[in-house]
Amino acid sequence: MAAILQGMSTASAPSQEPAAGGGPDGAVSPLAGMRLTELLDEVQERLSTVARAQARVEDLLDAFLSVSSGLDLDTTLRRIVEAATRLVDAGYGALGVLAPQGGLNAFITVGMTAEQRGRLDHLPEGKGVLGQLITDPHPLLIADLGTHPASVGLPPGHPPMRTFLGVPVLVRGTVFGNLYMTEKHGGGLFTAEDSAVLVALAGAAGIAVDNARLYAEGELRRRWLTAVGDVRSTLLAGLSPDEALRLVVGRVAELTGADGAWLVSGPDPDGGGYQVKAQTGAGLVDITGTVLHPDEAPALQAVVTAGTATTLDMTGIPYDGPNGHVTWGSTIGVPLRSTDARAAVVIAARRGGRPGFDPAVAPLITEFADQVALALDMAARQQVARRLDVYEDRDRIARDLHDHVIQRLFAAGLSLQAAATRVRDDPVRQRLCAVVDQLDETVRDIRTTIFDLHTTDGADHPDSLRRRLLDIATQSAGESLRPTVRMSGAVDSLVTGELAADVAAVVREGVSNAARHAGARHVVVTVEVTDTVVLEVRDDGRGIDPTVARSGLRNMEQRAERWGGRSSVARAADGGTLLRWQAPLPVRQDV
């Protein structure tokens, strides 16, 4: 530029000597004027070139700012393609993201209309010229795609394309993807200057992609850590084990983007099976409680064999197990090791056709599983501690009832019984005796309560005989009869199996008879267990009718006789009916 300006100065400065071709009077010749015009045109052209270069540099800087202004990876990738297309004045632009297993994992396009994309059977897969740029990641300039040796043609419905420019996008020295530009506006060819500009943009794009990926990884890790904190706080707040496991699989499915997630516990020491403890997923058959064997569940088998986090592509693997109606694709499983409970496995799966799990998920779900296992152990210890506190309170209450309340009631009963022998008024004596009987019943009730306080939480289990007898008495009594059930002794632990079934049947028959035939308002069921089961059903009705059909009574007698016991039904001395059924406990064979 300085040389050009210097030439202009020299050409325009007045000369002391006549110019070549000038006249004797020093006038400038027409030839010299033409030379000045050429120099001015050259200066103008060079100034325009400098202005265009400056404008392009400014556009490139704007593009740098544009691609590096966001942290969302998808948004950043689209900004890169849009900026590249604008910088080289291309009609179409695309960014192909490489897949770990080869080919293209994503293909972001600019310039194609929705109608044009709709006419395509599929997006490019990284073959032909695109594949050459993948295998040889260097800038590639092509004047005519159709004449290039690597060209395989355009797919049906693809818009015509001739000129081509491609450059790789590197992230920390590794090829992340490639920028593809086609059809330069105006029908011209892409130039070396276009290639240099695109290479510069690709360098900035690599930094922007790296930042977006780091941000995405940090955000993903934050979500997993948040999930761990939520699960831990919920568990320690006293959530039931079943709800806790459902919470775990729900969070795993949410964070991995899975279509289904399961938590299986095992293996069973007897059969080696794993029981499904929790499940989540739309459109799936609920298999909670089902026992799975590793040889019939490929994802479970992979985790059990590896003993660590394992991914498996179910595409093409025959599977007809639970939820076999779904075509499964990528799966990931991780063992969940617990010190206070049996080991477990968490499995997440995506339906076929969806992208596989990101390799970065494996360490995150492993860390999540380890933290959840620790939280489950802590929750289990807390539950044991709370249960011990409850048992301690129960023991204290039972001890106070036995040492204080019963003794006082018993002493009061003895005093009233002694006083009754000195009373000559017959109605008063009978009333005192009735009070003594009520005190005896109260003592029995308190002793039953004391025993219940010493029993475990198993009495609340649906299979508990105590629970079953309470339910039977309530259901068989109906709406017109008010039942009372009293039990003493180790009912749940000593009365089991067929004997428990016979006791339940006798209670159902006795209470049903009182409700249907006795015309009673109240029925009392008493069960006492020592070395013999003694069952009484007493109502306050009109007493048993001698003419009533005795088929049900015969059944109760047969049930007692097969255990070596006996059964009887008679009118009670104070009115109503008394059913008494007893059977000795079977002798246990200790191994």
CA angle 230, 231, 236 (to 5 degrees): 100
- Cα 371 from Cα 216, distance rounded (Å): 22
- Decide: 85 and 110 in contact? Cβ < 8 Å: yes
The DSSP letter of residue 463 is T
What is the full per-residue pLDDT of the chain (591 aa) written as tens digits? 333 333 333 433 444 444 444 455 555 566 666 677 777 666 666 665 555 555 555 655 565 566 666 667 788 788 888 888 888 888 888 888 887 666 677 788 888 877 777 666 666 766 777 777 777 888 888 888 877 777 767 766 677 888 888 888 888 888 888 888 898 888 888 888 888 888 888 888 888 778 777 887 788 788 888 888 887 777 777 677 778 788 888 888 888 889 999 988 877 766 668 888 889 988 888 888 888 888 888 888 888 888 888 888 888 888 888 888 888 999 998 888 765 556 788 899 999 888 888 887 888 888 888 877 777 777 677 777 777 777 777 778 877 777 788 788 878 888 888 888 888 888 888 888 888 888 877 877 777 676 666 655 544 455 678 888 888 888 888 877 888 888 887 788 888 888 998 999 999 888 888 888 777 888 889 998 888 999 999 888 877 666 555 666 788 888 899 899 999 888 877 778 889 999 999 875 443
103 dihedral zone (left: phi>0; alpha: psi -120 to 50; beta)? left
- Decide: 273 and 293 in contact? Cβ < 8 Å: yes
Write down the pLDDT at residue 370.
81
**CB-based burial, 365-381: b 16+ in 10 Å, e otherwise:** bbbbbebbbbbbbebbe
Sign of CA dihedral 469, 475, 476, 482: positive
- Cα 240 from Cα 245, distance rounded (Å): 9
Q: How many helices (H) and strands (E) does the chain have?
A: 15, 16
Across the beta sheet with 310-313, the strand order is 291-292, 274-280, 260-265, 344-351, 328-336, 310-313
Burial of 327 (0-12, 13-18, 19+ CB in 10 A): exposed
Write down the pLDDT at residue 16.
45
Tokens of 25: 């009077």
- Decide: 178 and 168 in contact? Cβ < 8 Å: yes
Q: Tokens 């966001």 label which residue?
A: 70
Tokens of 81: 């393609």
pTM: 0.52
Beta bridge partners of residue 275, listed in sequence order: 265, 291
Write down the pLDDT at residue 65.
63
